[in-house]
Amino acid sequence: MTSLGIDARATWHHRCAAVLLCAFALVAWSRSAGATEPSPYEQRTEKEVDADVAAAGNEARALWAEADRRYKAGDLAGAEEQLQRLVAAAPTLDHGFRFLCVTSLALDRKAAAATACRKAVELRPSPRNRTRLAMVLSDNPDAREEAAGLLKQGFDQEDQVGRAVECRLALYESIKYQVDRGFVVCTERLVASFPESILARDLRVQGYLVAEDLDGAEAELARAKAAGLPQSNVDAYARGIAEQRGFVVPALKKFGSFALAWFGALLALWFFGALLSARALRAVEVAMQGTLTPISRGERRLRQVYRAAVGITGAYFFASLPIIAAVTLLSAVLLVVLCFYLGQIPIKLVLIVGFVALVSVWSIGKSLVALFRNKEKDPGEELDLSVEPKLASVLRGVAADLDTRPVDRVFVTQGTDMAVYERGGPITTLRGKGERCLILGVGLLDGFQLRPFKSVIAHEYGHFKNEDTAGGHLALAVRRSILHMAEGMVKGGAATAINPAWWFIRGYHRVFHRITQGASRLQEVLADRAAVLTYGTEAFAVGFRHVLAREAAFGLHAEATVAESSKAKVAVTNFYRFEPARPPSEDDIADKVEAHLSAPHSDDDSHPPPQARLGLAAKMNLEGSAAASSDDADGVWSLFSDREALELRMTARIRDAVLENIGVDLANPTREAR
């Protein structure tokens, strides 16, 4: 060990010794604290003292009683005054001088204490008197050999003061020779003999400190405090432990505790989501028994719980964003500090960690900016319903059949989309006042009959009626924020295992997905039920299968069209009416539909299995509450005023997407893509 280490360690030991003095000064106080019953040794000693004091006369007995009363009350100066009168009145009473010695020591009058204790030993060289004198002398470096000699003459092992002085002298020997084990073992024996003693606990704290076991010292300090160790001693030890620990270890412990609590909350959300998901699956099974009730009380209550769960999970996410940023930066700072603490600074690692932290915080900031500045983009081309009165009439009619409010806006897309959502802030949508929107894919419309189309629209309106879209604004905001953050970290190279922000995003996404997907399954079944109740089993089944068939046919048609345009250099004017040389066959389409129907199902899927949804409709076996109409067999395209113009506009969108994604210009396939 270097001389620097010895000096530093010795300084700490001296500091311990200084603190220890406070405990020794309170030895006599501990005798009368009343915290525990006196030991047999103390009881015997007290009887002997009382007998000797009584034998010294009435005046001595009165002065002793008054000094004892003041000492117990904390009036040390008053007790000292009474004891000085006592030793003057009874100069042969060694107990009076010993009591005066302890009182003077408590008042930090060490010279007076030594004089009084020497007089007590002179009058009666009893083990008790010798140990009190040794206690006083042990604080004086020049008198420690004399103190050790007094102890060697023998002392009662039941006297904790003598045992404590023995430990104190062992501490100084540890400082002198760097042999710590003697003091540590001494404190262990002392606590084993006097487990309820404040003094023993006090010394045991120092035993841990000398052994450099700071965790043990903290634990023992807590026990000593509970036993009655004065707060001044507790504070002094706590400061010493904090100084020994320095900055890094406490910071790491606090950081670790916070991280555990934070991720523990996420884990709790995960288990809660799993329970809700399991409950939703049971509710879906019940719902698929073919009940004729649009929505039961239990299902309504479960949806309300789900909405609250989504709200809590979303609130946790947004509350966590500043925490993620702080934890990420703090992790980087702690790593750098730890490197300094260990004496080695790997520059490359520090630069990488710093870069990852900055990219993560930047991504979090961008996601928040995007969240608050975000203007919802139109999902497609908005259709002017005043120009399409037939379609508007059908949409209003379906809404009336389900007794709900119709959509306010319709957006057409080039694919096979079919969905509804609400626009507006969280409060607006929760109050049911949001702007209702329908997304309608042009790719679905070929061959779509009107009543099955109404049934599919009824399914979407069922989400409105069941208030599935209320509160959806929060879920969309969370997903959008996660997407922005993840995208920023991936592009910036911060999506690594050393990044706590990346851990959080991945973990939270799984939790949120589990919760929202469980709700989605139940929502889909209830929306299916609403469609069947309104337009019947047959219309629902035909509409459902039509959507599956058009998704398959459109995908195969798109592949064949793009391939032929690219290879044969054929321009595509109207994507929907283009006939490839090798169009997809009916068997190809049927195989793709069958593959979709028989695909394995996962609990994380947002929709129940297609076959189960068709099975629900078959079990209900209804004609529907909405009366049949003479135009039910008409095609959906009959609702549009200018089919070709709409197809051409959607074709332009498809051409832009194909050119951007795969570099093929369907309008001019001979042109080189840039």
Q: What is the pLDDT of residues 192-241, one digit of tens each?
A: 888 888 888 888 888 888 777 888 888 888 888 888 888 888 888 888 88
Question: pTM of the entire structure?
Answer: 0.58
Domain locations in the chain as residue ranges:
3-245, 246-674
CB 617 within 8 A of CB 291: no
Mean pLDDT of the chain: 80
Q: What is the pLDDT of residues 396-424, one digit of tens each?
A: 999 999 999 999 999 999 999 999 888 76
The pLDDT tens digits of the residues spanning 427-463 come to 555 555 678 899 999 999 999 999 999 999 999 998 8
Domain 3-245 has CATH 1.25.40.10: yes
Query: Does pLDDT of 120 surpass 90?
Result: yes
Q: Could you say which DSSP state residue 631 is in?
A: T
Q: In this predicted model, what pLDDT tens digit does every residue of 313-370 receive, in sequence order?
A: 888 888 888 888 887 887 787 777 777 766 666 777 777 777 888 888 888 887 777 6
Residue 544 predicted with pLDDT over 90: yes
List helix spans (H) across 211-247.
Answer: 214-227, 231-245
455, 539 in Cβ contact below 8 A? yes
**Which residues touch 170 (CB under 8 Å, ≥6 apart)?**
182, 183, 186
pLDDT digits (tens, 9 = 90+) for 481-517: 787 788 888 888 887 777 888 888 888 888 887 777 7
Check residue 263 and report its DSSP letter. H
**DSSP readout, 160-197?**
HHHHHHHHHHHHHHHHHH---HHHHHHHHHHHHH-TT-
pLDDT at residue 296 tops 70:
no
The one-letter amino acid at 45: T
Q: Is the pLDDT of residue 426 over 50?
A: yes
pLDDT of residue 248 exceeding 70, the answer is no
Q: How confident is the model at residue 29 (pLDDT cuts 50, 70, 90)?
A: very low
Provide mean pLDDT across the span 140-150.
Answer: 88
